[in-house]
């Protein structure tokens, strides 16, 4: 992992705060959908850079300058997110397409033009680009629909591209570290969201307790992911016979839902802190408990995709979160967040006991940012986003 990649991530962190703010302003299903539509291109832009740096030795000056410039594209996108559905729509799309075009230009130095144009994260923007521009030039529902179609094409592009070109193997250590860092960034934004809300008013005992409970929830979810997930992801990619397919499932697609679930959790926690002794309104409860369920059920899917075994502990925890959501509208929010923490802790203990029975233990090496795998980085026709 290079310093340029870490610097590039700074703009993505800012974008995460903007998504939280956008979702905070509209908790409805329509608001969640509109936020997700904007989240897809930002996530895809981050994923394209991650794949490129995984496949290439980016020590060259042109690559390093290109990654830093892509960070500027990400910053401009982040600045326009709050009003993307209003007067900043065209600027949002211009920044996004400029970044994708720059990434495609960097890739064309290594990949034949025909393949790069229509296959992979470097070229699919030539299909979605016109839809995005058309949406930016319209207003209201038409913009939402056009951008939703473009987002759907982006989501389907890795699967479509897999049928159009032979795909090579990625470097498991670097790739999993990058997606692990993504999760750290999103969790970090959750902590920032809670802190930003807490400092706006007097720090009463109940509010301090709410902050500690929110931090505990983020912490136990973090422990679950890094203690029992990321190391499993890496080992699976190292031995997979069809690594590209597995990589799309457990990293590209799953982490889209991991990330968005954490964003909704952050918004729900932010709404809980100001009035921890009051029940949550239905929409806030949906964000908080639904986000936890999305995270844990995605965690269960990844386990099934790797091992072809049902992760009953993770499914049980995710289902419990969903069942607790209606209760959160009747019981003080602080008590419900503590209950969420308890559910995840029980799941972690069960995971730990199961792992020890199998003779394993959490791979703490995955908490470190280590060197890349020593594999060849020759020309590739990758198609992940």
Look at the chain and count its residues: 385
Last residue of a domain, one of 162, 182, 213: 162
Which domain, by its residues, includes 111?
3-162
Do 100 and 182 sit in the same domain of this protein? no
Q: Looking at the domain assignment, is residue 378 inside a domain?
A: no
Same domain, 187 and 108: no
- pLDDT by residue for the chain (385 residues), tens only, comes to 788 888 889 888 899 889 988 998 888 899 999 999 999 999 999 988 898 888 777 888 898 999 999 999 999 999 999 999 999 999 999 999 999 889 888 887 776 544 544 455 556 777 888 999 999 999 999 999 999 999 999 888 877 766 665 567 788 998 999 999 999 999 998 998 898 888 888 889 999 999 999 999 999 999 999 998 988 999 999 999 888 889 999 999 999 999 999 999 999 999 999 999 999 999 999 999 999 999 999 999 999 999 999 999 999 999 999 999 999 999 999 999 999 999 999 999 999 998 888 775 555 444 444 444 444 444 444 445 4
Residue 382 lies in a domain: no
Q: Which distant-in-sequence residues (6+ apart) come within 8 Å of 380 by Cβ?
A: 55, 110, 111, 167, 168
- From 78, 98, 87, 97, select the one nearest 38 (Cα to Cα): 78
Q: Looking at the structure, tell me whether residues 142 and 186 fall in a common domain.
A: no
* Same domain membership, residue 102 and residue 82: yes
Same-domain pairing of 222 and 124: no
Q: What is the pLDDT of residue 164?
A: 63
> Is residue 317 in some structural domain?
yes
Query: CA 305, CA 250: separation in Å to the nearest integer?
Result: 7
In a domain, 57, yes or no: yes
Is residue 384 one of the residues assigned to a domain? no
Domain identity same for 11 and 146:
yes
Rounded to the nearest 10 degrees, the angle between the axes of helix 141-162 and helix 125-136 is 180
Q: Dmax over Cα atoms in the chain, in whole Å? A: 63
What's the domain count of the chain?
Answer: 2
Is this prediction's pTM over 0.85? Answer: yes
Instruction: Give the burial class of 327: count Cβ atoms within 10 A of its Cβ; 0-12 exposed, 13-18 middle, 19 or more buried.
Output: middle
Rounded-to-integer distance, Cα 332 and Cα 62, Å: 55
Quick one: 192 and 337 in the same domain? yes
CATH number at residue 312: 1.20.1410
Q: What is the pLDDT of residue 324?
A: 96
Neighbours of 332 (CB within 10 A): 18
Per the CB < 8 A criterion, the answer to whether 297 and 224 are in contact is no
Q: What is the pLDDT of residue 358?
A: 78
The answer on 196 and 130 residing in a single domain is no
d(CA 292, CA 304): 19
Residue 374 lies in a domain: no
Predicted pLDDT of residue 177: 93
Q: Please report whether residue 360 resides in a domain.
A: yes
Of 162, 184, 200, which residue sits at a domain end?
162
* pLDDT for the residue 117: 47
Q: At CA 319, angle to CA 318 and CA 320, rounded to 5?
A: 90
Within a domain: 350: yes
DSSP 3-state of 323: helix
How far is 122 from 177, CA to CA, in rounded Å?
Answer: 22
The residue from 162, 189, 204 where one domain ends is 162
Q: Are residues 206 and 345 in the same domain?
A: yes
One domain for residues 227 and 113:
no
Residues 217 and 363 in one domain: yes
Cα–Cα distance, 55 to 145 (Å, whole number): 34
Are residue 154 and residue 187 in the same domain, yes or no?
no
């Amino acid at each position: 992992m290079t310093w340029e990649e870490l610097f590039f991530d700074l703009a993505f962190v800012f974008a995460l705060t903007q998504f939280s703010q956008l979702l905070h302003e509209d908790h409805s299903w329509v608001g969640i959908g509109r936020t997700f539509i904007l989240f897809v291109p930002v996530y895809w832009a981050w994923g394209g850079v991650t794949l490129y740096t995984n496949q290439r030795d980016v020590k060259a000056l042109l690559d390093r300058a290109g990654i830093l410039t892509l960070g500027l594209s990400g910053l401009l996108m982040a600045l326009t997110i709050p009003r993307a559905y209003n007067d900043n729509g065209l600027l949002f799309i211009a920044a996004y397409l400029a970044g994708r075009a720059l990434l495609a230009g960097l890739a064309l130095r290594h990949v034949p033009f025909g393949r790069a144009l229509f296959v992979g994260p470097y070229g699919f923007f030539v299909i979605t680009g016109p839809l995005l521009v058309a949406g930016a030039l319209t207003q209201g529902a038409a913009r939402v629909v056009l951008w939703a179609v473009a987002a759907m094409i982006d989501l389907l592009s890795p699967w479509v591209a897999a049928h159009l070109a032979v795909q090579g193997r990625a470097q498991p250590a670097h790739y999993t570290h990058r997606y692990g860092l993504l999760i750290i960034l999103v969790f970090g934004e959750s902590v920032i969201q809670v802190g930003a809300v807490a400092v706006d008013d007097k720090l009463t005992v109940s509010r301090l307790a709410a902050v500690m409970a929110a931090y505990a929830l983020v912490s136990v979810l973090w422990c679950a992911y890094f203690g029992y997930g990321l190391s499993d992801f890496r080992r699976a990619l190292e031995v997979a016979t069809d690594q590209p397919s597995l990589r799309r499932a457990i990293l590209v697609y799953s982490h889209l839902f991991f990330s968005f679930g954490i964003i909704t959790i952050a918004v729900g926690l932010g709404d809980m802190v100001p009035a921890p002794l009051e029940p949550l309104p239905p929409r806030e409860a949906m964000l908080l408990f639904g986000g936890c369920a999305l995270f844990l059920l995605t965690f269960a899917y990844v386990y099934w995709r790797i091992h072809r075994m049902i992760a009953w502990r993770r499914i049980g925890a995710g289902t419990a979160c969903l069942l607790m959501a209606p209760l959160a509208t009747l019981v003080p929010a602080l008590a419900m967040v503590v209950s969420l923490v308890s559910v995840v802790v029980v799941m972690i203990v069960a995971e730990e006991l199961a792992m020890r029975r199998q003779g394993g233990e959490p791979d703490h090496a995955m908490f470190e940012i280590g060197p890349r795998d020593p594999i060849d980085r020759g020309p590739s026709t990758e198609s992940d986003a």
